[in-house]
Chains A and B, each alone.
Chain A
């Protein structure tokens, strides 16, 4: 039982390049999230999904796209990377307690992205 797995763990990009971060969970959770963590800024929500085929914007969605084609996977894409997107990205998943109430978030180990 791996929990939440993120790939890759490290990546260096040049400005303007594109890439995709993959998150996979094996807990059959309905909800999945992408957060970014920057020094002194805490965890800020980028995009999230409340079920397969659905996505929604979070607090800082600009410059990112997401897809949830399968329940267990949540992809975060950067179409044209910028230095401001240098950050540590965390994926999380949680179960649905009913009426869209979320339970505990289970986090992955993080993906460190540097954009030069």
Chain B
């Protein structure tokens, strides 16, 4: 089955800086790579996703890049704000199920 590795496990940045979270996957058949944000006491919520026929996707301050050859994808958050502080999960798969990484706790300091 699919195996998704996520780094780093924690990330501290100053407000206004950029943050990058990286994930690798093992199954070349995976075709869907979403990113979820989880705030304290809540369920994860999708923030951006990418399918394997696209190399990059942007949505305001958030972007995701995908390198199918190397089997890795990354989340980029620019101009970070304190409300970006949360746990972020990457996931891979797409054929019936998704496998999640172990999460990155992002802390944005004012």
Q: Contact residues of A with B, CB < 8 Å?
A: 4, 31, 33, 35, 40-45, 48, 50, 56, 58-59, 90, 92, 100-102, 104-105, 107-110
Contact = CB atoms under 8 A, between A and B. Distances in A.
B43 to A, nearest CB: 3
B72 to A, nearest CB: 17
A105 B36 CA distance: 9
Given A42-B102, A59-B1, A100 B89 contact: no
Contacts of A40: 9, 102
B44 A90 contact: yes
B102 A41 contact: yes
Contacts of B100: 35, 42-44
B47 to A, nearest CB: 11
B65 interface: no
A105 B42 contact: no
A31 B96 contact: yes
Interface in B19-51: 31-32, 34, 36, 41-46, 49
A42 B103 contact: yes
Given A104-B49, A105-B46, A110-B43, A42 B96 contact: no
A64 B89 CA distance: 24
Nearest to A100: B96
A109 B43 contact: yes
Contacts of B97: 33, 45, 48, 58, 102
A90 B43 contact: yes
A101 B31 CA distance: 9
A33 B45 CA distance: 15
Contacts of A90: 43-44
Nearest to A108: B43
A13 B107 CA distance: 34
Contact of A43 (B31, B41, B89, B96): B89
B101 A101 contact: no
Given A33-B97, A43-B100, A107 B89 contact: no
